[in-house]
Structure 1
Amino acid sequence: MSVEFAAFCELHEPRYRSYARVWFQEPGAAHRVVRLALRTLAEVWPAVLESPNPAAAAWQILRDTVTEQHALAGAERLRPDVDADEDLAILHYVVGLATPEIADVVGVDTANITSQLRQTHRRRATDW
């Protein structure tokens, strides 16, 4: 494991686990899904580092792994078709991350996160 990858995991794994717990109520399941995503990320880490936005590439791997494992578990509590704006809302309103933290996790600038959260809040306020 490279130093860069270890540092990335140390920074992002707790946030990833908090997100996964929204999908998998049992903490052990959320932990396993995040570890699976990080193993997948480790396999492509050099390519991720060379990508224009490593945080966004890593987030997509996590998101894909969560969606896949959620479907395999036959879970029905949350929809597997949650879109990117709803992911931001989950990270902000459910997980409790501030917009700079969300920007760091998903690889998007803070202003964009703020704008998307406002739009999502207007659209979905009655659903929460």
Structure 2
Amino acid sequence: MPQRHVLAGTRANSELGSTARPLGESVSAPLAYTAFCHDHWPVYRRFSSSIAGSPRRGSDLARIALSVVATHWPVVLGSASPSAAAWNLLSRQCAATRAETSQAHGILERLEADALVLRHKLGLTSQQAGYAMGMPAAEFELLRNRAVRNLS
């Protein structure tokens, strides 16, 4: 029988204070999912807040994406890169907001634009950004360099 965890104790909720809504009332989430949320929440929140232009809206977008990840956790976990699958969900979740806020997002492929936001707007290292997107640092650098070339 799967363990049930209340996700109110995760970083996703504790960073916003005691008035924050939990990710779910009670979600069946294996420890791996809880650890995944704890590990990825800071970057997800910062990225989506940057895209949305609002910390509150960004936190909501990140929460929604992680809730979708929870719903599809067995599929995400069984993918070649769970971090890449989850990032894809977050990136798509932010897509509607993204189109309104950045010309670069209209010119570049979605993941190229994400790479520029992570590296240049949020100041993450290639290692940190690649980890968030579910790819090695060298692959992230190739993606980022391609984005820079496409803007030229």
CA distance in 1: counterparts of 2:67 and 2:125, whole angstroms = 27
Unaligned runs of 5+ in 1: none
Q: Among residues 76, 85, 95, which one is paired with 1:67 in the alignment?
A: 95
TM norm structure 2: 0.72
**DSSP-derived class of the 1:108 partner:** coil
Unaligned runs of 5+ in 2: 1-28
Deviations 1:31-83 (A, max 9, x none): 11110111111000011111111111000111111114x27xxx722256452
More helix by share: 1
Q: RMSD over aligned Cα, in angstroms?
A: 1.9
Question: Are 1:101 and 2:114 counterparts?
Answer: no
TM norm structure 1: 0.84
Q: Residue 137 of structure 2 aligns to which amino acid in structure 1?
A: T
**DSSP-derived class of the 1:97 partner:** coil
Q: Which residue of 2 aligns with 1:57?
A: 85
Q: Among residues 76, 86, 90, which one is paired with 2:100 in the alignment?
A: 76
CA distance in 2: counterparts of 1:54 and 1:76, whole angstroms = 28
Q: Which residue of 1 aligns with 2:70?
A: 42
Higher gyration radius (CA): 2
Q: Is the 8 A contact 2:61 2:94 kept in 1?
A: yes
Q: Among residues 98, 110, 122, which one is paired with 2:137 in the alignment?
A: 110
4+ residue runs of structure 1 moved beyond 6 angstroms? Answer: none
Number of residue pairs matched by the alignment:
121
Q: Residue 92 of structure 1 aligns to which amino acid in structure 2?
A: R
Q: Which residue of 1 aligns with 2:149?
A: 122
% same residue: 26
The change in CA–CA distance for 1:98 and 1:52 in structure 2 (over 3 A counts) is same
Cα deviation for residue 114 of structure 1 reads 1.5
Q: Which deviates more, 92-101 or 115-124?
A: 115-124
Structure having greater relative contact order (Cα 8 Å, sep ≥ 6): 1
